[in-house]
Structure 1
Amino acid sequence: QYVNDDLTPRLRPGTREHLHAGNQQFLVGDFFGMWRAWDGIRALDYLLTRKEVDPQHVGVTGNSGGGTMTTWLCGVEPRWTMAAPSCFVTTFRRNLENELAADTEQCPPKVLAQQLDHDDFIAAMAPQPVILLAKERDYFDVRGTEEAYRRLKKLYRLLGQEENVSMFVGPTYHGYSQENREAMYQWFNRATKNSTVDKEPAIQIEEDKTLWCTPKGQVAGLTNTRTVFQFTAEKSRQLAVQRKPLTGEDLRKSVMELLRIPPRPAKPPHYRIWRYLPSGNYPTQYAIAYAIESEPRIQAITYRLTDERLYSRPPRSGEQATLYVSHLSSDAELRSEPMIAELIKQDPQRAFFTCDVRGVGESQPGTGSPGSFHQPYGSDYFYAIHSLMLDRPYLGQKTFDVLRVLQWLETLGHHDVHLVGKGWGALAATFAALISRTVKQVTLKNALRSYTEIAQAEHYTWPLSTFLPDVLSHFDLPDCYRDLKKKKLRQIEPWGADARMI
């Protein structure tokens, strides 16, 4: 999908392409797994046109990503008569608990909200013969495979076909190794009764070039072909023409719906007086940190800057306040972002707060490998993709954090808030400013120019955590920026799709 002039891949490792194309598709309401399943359906359409293919005996199998597609195809295509997914089927809970960041196509949007699991897709083809193939040392947890098998066994028993579901666990690591392949041969032969062969003969490994289906071994080298990205870009252009411009309350309602913003609790958020912060090259001499509980067990870490020592709850200091939503870290940006010092200097009497929403700065989780936060399969992606599976976009959760901090500021008497956001934080600030009546003024630095720009860029740097599913079917960021002009919006150095943001 992303190749150099000599058709070698531009993105490494190979599965990184899945994320790069798949994350982008969410903006236009598509799911990469759906596209790949459609490829499988069309491949079956072709196979069934061939005279040597018996439609009464059509099996599907694959390993890892192929095991993923086998699983989804069991759920959406009724013509299969047998299946053997390998090195994929476990449970979503095991993947989550084990902090396994799976490929985009392995994480269907809303799947957890609909209380579905891997075995539910397999169950859709019951009572046809199915064997779950797993590996003892696989990162796809075999305990989850066993759980899926037990549930399927119960279903097949109720259907009177208990013998039509089985499981095989090979002793080695992730891969379609010989023992798993032979388990598949035996299972398919049992189902078709066409052969009794259960061992794999000696195989001569062919050179890649011998197996090429295209002149140069890459579809991208053919004429009149299009990549997934090109389809995404085209759909974004179509949506731009089709969607009606939203303003005012209509835009506000659409934003809240797509972000999945829950009703604002009547009770102000609980907060802890976290710690006193001595001077650390901040624009003021002192600061104090508060942990604002935006929802149970979720804290948005908020700093109050001050030129006097403060160990207690924030003092009441008039109606006006500024809330700065950080890009990656309030602490780091208080030391390095000149805009903060300028804002404080412009109005030193205005109370000044900063906020790290969930997932960044002092709210950044330690999930995954150390230092993996910005990596393609790092902790930021891990939480973003699971949020989509739960139908609670990560960006919506971050926006809710800002709204709860604004509600907390109201309890301190601040009913006239200048909301400032930078980079990633500018997105949450944009949406919170549209929703909150407390926000009277908005400043955005390094805000994303538009989601359309990402959808139409082959290479982009914004992470999935900043995306909103199907947003381009409803509105784009310029709609929000236009609406915020009534709140004296000021934009500084907006970023494009490929901004260098780290």
Structure 2
Amino acid sequence: MYCSGHSALGYRSPVYQHVIINLVKKGFIVFAFDPVGQGERIQYYDPNTGQSRMGGPTREHSYPSVQLLLAGTNLVNYMVWDGIRALDYLATRPEVDINRIGVTGRSGGGTQAAYLGAVDDRVKAAAIENYLTSFARLYESKGPQDAEQNLTHGILKGIDHADLLIARLPKASLLIATTNDFFSIQGARETFEQVSTLAKLYPFAQDKLFMVEDDAGHASTRKNREALYAFFQSQLELPGPVTDLEITVPAAAELRVCASGQVSTSTPSENLFSLNKKHASTIQPTFPKHPLSLPDVSFIKELVGFNQPLDTVNNVFTGRVARKGYVIEKYFTYSSGGYLIPYLYFKPELPNGKALIYVHPEGKESMALPGSELERMVQSGYAVFCPDLIGIGEMGPGSYKGDAYIDGVSYNMCFMGLQINKTVVGLRSSDIVALRQVITRAFLFDDIYAISVDELASPLLHAALFDEAIKGVLTIGDFATYSTLVNTEYYDSRHAFSLVPNVLLYYDLPILTRAIAPRKYAHLDGKGAGPAILAKIKGFSAK
């Protein structure tokens, strides 16, 4: 069985067809199928352009994954199930010996081959090309990859690339690598050494683990292909010449299966979005509660990966800008994770004794422009604190984008957090709580309220739940509940950072707006509504 990597053509890619046809000419039956989001299974197909609206396979995989993860699943589930059903089909074919099954794939196909080889005992031999390394080496070099390459809490539970081979022992595996691949060759070598050490402890496993490498980038080479042929010829007992033959590759149109070239436009069918929407509609949240029927705050902290900041003042003053009726003071403090939280303190000339935390997705500098709605609040006597939360402004991602960069959002950062049970929501809510502690301890405010704009509603509501010193919350603009994200096929990518895996199994954001009672909560749909914002805040602080 051949698993295709990240090619929009799926198994029709000339690189993949070369290996497939070579294997056929050597006597193997080869079953190749399109992974979801590729070939004839594009999830966001635009009939006007004949292309994906997302722009490519890694985006086709990652964009729906936020919705899958919210509802308690993972794209890994769907991809592994595809492979299992493919093996089920092969088992029905009279010409197939189900006891002599091999699986291979390169790059993203290597991911699929590694998973399938680990979970399905029918795979007698697995050849995994241009994928296996280690998470430590991957994160030191290329960074986290797209959705299906990340298990929910995988690293947290101790699962590394080596475990996908260890799970196969004593069945045969071949690790195929190249020395200049973005999947670190050092990680590949270390993984092979680790698994080889364990293989020596297994009866009959010593001669079942192999590795080949060649000097190249993320590519298929003749040396590696011939090692792959030899591996399957030996392990599946089909001897013959290993020579890599020159192949005339069929045109992609010749390999079309559906009349229109797409499942979605050829036959009534489901896609990831529709399947997940149906799944989400069946979920009955089982939210753990305290005896007093309040949400279990400790459970939510664990779910979002929240770290309680140390209640200490570690505040660094870096400068001041004078404005008419107020000054802007510049500071940074430290998060629970040890990184900086830069913020601006808008200090009114005639203070009213009340403080506002104002979090904006465009960062603190956007709030410092003369004539902004924030200026009106300061001139009304409110002390306003505007931080750059992690991923925003001076705490932005720098040059890192990843292979699933959609509308300015690096989905890959969500998937790194997925592996270790750290969400952007959890980190940002911790940043807000850390800033609130500084406001209380360093600036001696007791009446502290908080405002968020658009997608920052989620971290602010979590922060208010975790920190009762925040006396009221106002959310402004696009408030997207988790259910809304799951039920909206083309959701706004900015909300990807609101991801909390498995959250809909337990709660949605509206429960947090009720859980902070008797403290005040309000929402404003419009942006730039200075008078309305002031009216809401004054209502919060009224005695």
TM-score (normalised: structure 2):
0.81
Q: Which residue of 2 aligns with 1:2?
A: 44
Give the counterpart of 1:403 among 399, 420, 433: 433
Is the CA contact 2:305–2:422 (under 8 Å) kept in the aligned structure 1? Answer: yes
Q: Which residue of 2 aligns with 1:314?
A: none
Give the counterpart of 1:68 among 111, 123, 135: 111
Residues 195/333 of structure 1: CA separation in 2 closer, same or farther (3 Å cut): same
Name the aligned partner's letter for residue 258 of structure 1: L
Structure 2 SS opposite 1:250? coil
Residues 165/283 of structure 1: CA separation in 2 closer, same or farther (3 Å cut): farther
Deviation at 1:457, TM superposition (A): 1.3
Q: Which residue of 1 aligns with 2:463?
A: 432
Supply the distance in 1 between the matched residues of 2:324 and 2:406 (Cα, whole angstroms). Answer: 34
Is the CA contact 2:181–2:217 (under 8 Å) kept in the aligned structure 1? Answer: yes
Name the aligned partner's letter for residue 3 of structure 1: Y
RMSD: 2.7
Supply the distance in 1 between the matched residues of 2:342 and 2:305 (Cα, whole angstroms). Answer: 22
Matches within 5 A, 1:96-111: 96-111=139-154
Poorly superposed stretches of 4+, deviation over 6 Å: 244-248
Residues 49/363 of structure 1: CA separation in 2 closer, same or farther (3 Å cut): same
Q: Which residue of 1 aligns with 2:334?
A: 293
Name the aligned partner's letter for residue 323 of structure 1: I
Supply the distance in 2 between the matched residues of 1:180 and 1:284 (Cα, whole angstroms). Answer: 71
Structure 1 SS opposite 2:207? helix
Give the counterpart of 1:260 among 291, 295, 305: 305
Q: Which residue of 1 aligns with 2:126?
A: 83
Name the aligned partner's letter for residue 109 of structure 1: T
Q: Which residue of 2 aligns with 1:500?
A: none
Residues 234/201 of structure 1: CA separation in 2 closer, same or farther (3 Å cut): same
Is the CA contact 1:21–1:228 (under 8 Å) kept in the aligned structure 2? Answer: yes
Deviates more, 1:480-489 or 1:319-328: 480-489
Residues 53/274 of structure 1: CA separation in 2 closer, same or farther (3 Å cut): farther
Determine if the alignment matches structure 1 residue 392 to structure 2 residue 400: no
Residues 373/429 of structure 1: CA separation in 2 closer, same or farther (3 Å cut): farther
Q: Which residue of 1 aligns with 2:354?
A: 320
Deviates more, 1:171-180 or 1:142-151: 171-180
Task: Provide, for residues 233-256 of structure 1, a one-character-per-residue CA deviation record: whole Å limited to 9, x for no partner.
Answer: 2222222x5557989722645532
Deviates more, 1:250-259 or 1:90-99: 250-259
Deviation at 1:224, TM superposition (A): 2.8
Supply the distance in 1 between the matched residues of 2:407 and 2:177 (Cα, whole angstroms). Answer: 23
**Structure 2: any 5+ residue segments left out of the alignment?**
1-42, 528-543
Is the CA contact 2:133–2:187 (under 8 Å) kept in the aligned structure 1? Answer: yes
Determine if the alignment matches structure 1 residue 115 to structure 2 residue 129: no
Determine if the alignment matches structure 1 residue 418 to structure 2 residue 449: yes
Deviates more, 1:190-199 or 1:53-62: 190-199
Q: Which residue of 1 aligns with 2:12?
A: none
Is the CA contact 2:130–2:218 (under 8 Å) kept in the aligned structure 1? Answer: yes
Deviation at 1:84, TM superposition (A): 0.5
Determine if the alignment matches structure 1 residue 352 to structure 2 residue 384: yes
Deviation at 1:318, TM superposition (A): 8.3
Q: Which residue of 2 aligns with 1:313?
A: none
Matches within 5 A, 1:158-197: 158-160=201-203, 161-197=205-241
Is the CA contact 1:269–1:293 (under 8 Å) kept in the aligned structure 2? Answer: no
Structure 2 SS opposite 1:255? helix
Name the aligned partner's letter for residue 64 of structure 2: A
Name the aligned partner's letter for residue 17 of structure 1: E
Supply the distance in 1 between the matched residues of 2:157 and 2:516 (Cα, whole angstroms). Answer: 35
Task: Provide, for residues 407-452 of structure 1, a one-character-per-residue CA deviation record: whole Å limited to 9, x for no partner.
Answer: 2222243222111112233221111112211111211112423111
- Provide the aligned length of Structure 1 versus Structure 2: 478
Is the CA contact 2:326–2:379 (under 8 Å) kept in the aligned structure 1? Answer: no
Deviation at 1:225, TM superposition (A): 1.0
Name the aligned partner's letter for residue 408 of structure 1: V
Deviates more, 1:443-452 or 1:360-369: 360-369
Structure 2 SS opposite 1:411? helix
Q: Which residue of 2 aligns with 1:40?
A: 83
Task: Provide, for residues 357-399 of structure 1, a one-character-per-residue CA deviation record: whole Å limited to 9, x for no partner.
Answer: 2221122242526xx8993397843432211111121211111
Residues 416/272 of structure 1: CA separation in 2 closer, same or farther (3 Å cut): closer
